[in-house]
């Protein structure tokens, strides 16, 4: 579904993403972990077209999409959330999801019906009329996921959607991500909570200082010395 080859992003003097290559199969849940500043969000921006790579290429469903705009990629079925949740604060929860639904639905009534179903699914039906500015952090995160789902993605990129949530809210979010995946949407998520990563117990990719340092099954990757060092900030030679 997704094939990234030698992707690199340089900002002035800094190589934020350095020669990263990996592929994702349809139906997978892949967690991306790594210390702050490792290049995880930059990698997502390269995949969604919010940033263009300095070198390297991205293929999606067999199609070379390097250079495509974010909107064109969304139309091809790539959905995303942002690390800093960016709901349209003055709009209601329902209207926020409508923005996503309009990507494929032209008629207001159809888009509204679709948006409401999705809000219901993420547990926000009773908050539909509330301005996004009045939602809690946990509700805003679910709203972001709802808006991404409304664009009918085949692949969804979730950037730290569980950060700052309490254990009950994390549990809700984990269940939601599972349901999304069970509906056939491939999930790529940036996640700091290793308990969450383990609970999905699938594939984990580790970035450290822009480089991919591990890619494999959660159990073995999380036991890897280089990964532990990257996390603990142990001295490197
Ligand atoms: P992560 O999401 O893993 O915490 P980021 O991808 O946000 O890391 O950042 C990786 C590195 O790139 C950091 O050093 C960050 O300061 C830098 N960076 C990110 N975006 C920009 C930008 N637009 N301009 C310059 N430097 C950036
Ligand atoms: Mg980030």
Closest residue by Cα to atom 22, ligand 1, is 11
Q: Please give the distance, rounded to the nearest whole angstrom, from the Cα atom of residue 50 to the centre of ligand 2.
A: 14
Is 109 domain-assigned? no
pLDDT digits (tens, 9 = 90+) for 170-193: 999 999 999 999 999 999 999 988
Could you list the pLDDT tens digit for every one of the 237 residues in the chain?
Answer: 999 999 999 999 899 999 999 999 999 999 999 999 999 999 999 999 999 999 999 999 999 999 999 999 999 999 988 877 777 888 999 999 999 899 888 899 999 999 999 999 999 999 999 999 999 999 999 999 999 999 999 999 999 999 999 999 999 999 999 999 999 999 999 998 888 998 886 899 999 999 999 999 998 998 888 778 877 665 444
Quick one: which of 7, 65, 57 has its CA closest to 207?
Answer: 7
CA 56 to chain CA centroid, Å, is: 20
Cα–ligand 2 centroid distance for 37 (angstroms): 7
CA distances in angstroms from 144 to 25, 173, 178, 207, listed in the order given? 24, 12, 16, 25
Distance CA 199, CA 210 (A): 26
- Nearest atom in ligand 1 to 43's CA: 6
Q: How many angstroms separate the alpha carbon of residue 41 from the centre of ligand 2?
A: 4
3-class secondary structure, 214: strand
The predicted pLDDT at position 150 comes to: 94
Residue of minimum CA distance from atom 20 in ligand 1: 42
Please, are residues 33 and 215 in contact by the beta-carbon 8 Å criterion?
no
pLDDT of residue 159: 94
User: What is the pLDDT at residue 175?
Assistant: 93
The answer to whether residue 130 sits within a structural domain is no
Instruction: Give the pocket of ligand 1 (CB within 6 Å).
Output: 11, 14, 16, 34, 36-42
Instruction: Give nearest CA residue, ligand 1 atom 16.
Output: 37
Prediction pTM value: 0.92
**Per-residue pLDDT at 237:** 43
Say which CATH number the domain at 64 has: 3.40.50.300
Residue 105 inside a domain? The answer is: no
Residue pair 213/207 in contact by the 8 Å Cβ criterion: yes
What the block records as the tokens of 194 is 């290793």
In this structure, is residue 125 part of a structural domain? no
Structure tokens given for 154: 């085949």
Q: Is residue 147 part of a domain?
A: no
Q: Which residues lie below 8 Å from residue 115, measured CB to CB, with a gap of 6+?
A: 94, 97, 98, 100, 101, 146, 150
From the CA of 61, how far away is ligand 1's center (Å)? 27
The domain tally of the chain equals 1
Residue 30 domain flag: yes
**Residue 71: which H helix or E strand, with range?**
helix 70-75
Range of the domain at 187: 2-83+154-232
pLDDT at 234: 52
- Orientation angle between helical segments 137-150 and 93-101, nearest 10 degrees: 20
Q: Is residue 115 part of a domain?
A: no
Residue 233 has a pLDDT of 66
Asked if 3 and 48 count as a contact pair (C-beta separation under 8 A), the reply is no
Among 210, 230, 235, smallest CA distance to 14 is for: 210
Residue nearest to atom 25 of ligand 1 (CA): 11
Q: Supply the pLDDT for residue 141.
A: 92
């Amino acid at each position: 579904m997704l094939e990234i080859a030698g992707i690199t992003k340089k900002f002035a003097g800094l190589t934020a993403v350095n020669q990263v290559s990996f592929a994702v199969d349809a139906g997978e849940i892949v967690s991306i972990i790594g210390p702050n500043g490792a290049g995880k969000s930059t990698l997502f921006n390269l995949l969604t077209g919010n940033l263009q790579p300095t070198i390297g290429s991205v293929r999606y469903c067999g199609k070379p999409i390097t250079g495509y705009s974010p909107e064109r990629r969304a139309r091809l079925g790539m959905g995303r959330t942002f690390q800093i949740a960016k709901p349209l604060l003055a709009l209601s929860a329902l209207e926020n999801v409508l923005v996503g639904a309009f990507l494929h639905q032209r008629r207001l009534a159809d888009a509204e019906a679709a948006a409401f179903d999705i809000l219901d699914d993420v547990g926000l039906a009773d908050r539909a009329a509330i301005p996004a500015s009045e939602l809690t952090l946990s509700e805003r995160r679910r709203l972001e996921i709802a808006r991404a789902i409304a664009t009918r993605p085949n692949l969804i990129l979730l950037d730290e959607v569980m950060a700052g949530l309490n254990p009950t809210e994390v549990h809700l979010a984990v269940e939601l991500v599972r349901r999304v995946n069970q509906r056939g949407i491939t999930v790529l998520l940036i996640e700091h909570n290793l308990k969450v990563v383990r609970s999905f117990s699938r594939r984990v990719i580790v970035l450290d200082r822009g480089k991919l340092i591990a890619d494999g099954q959660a159990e073995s990757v999380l036991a890897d010395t280089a990964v532990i060092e990257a996390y603990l900030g142990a001295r490197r030679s």
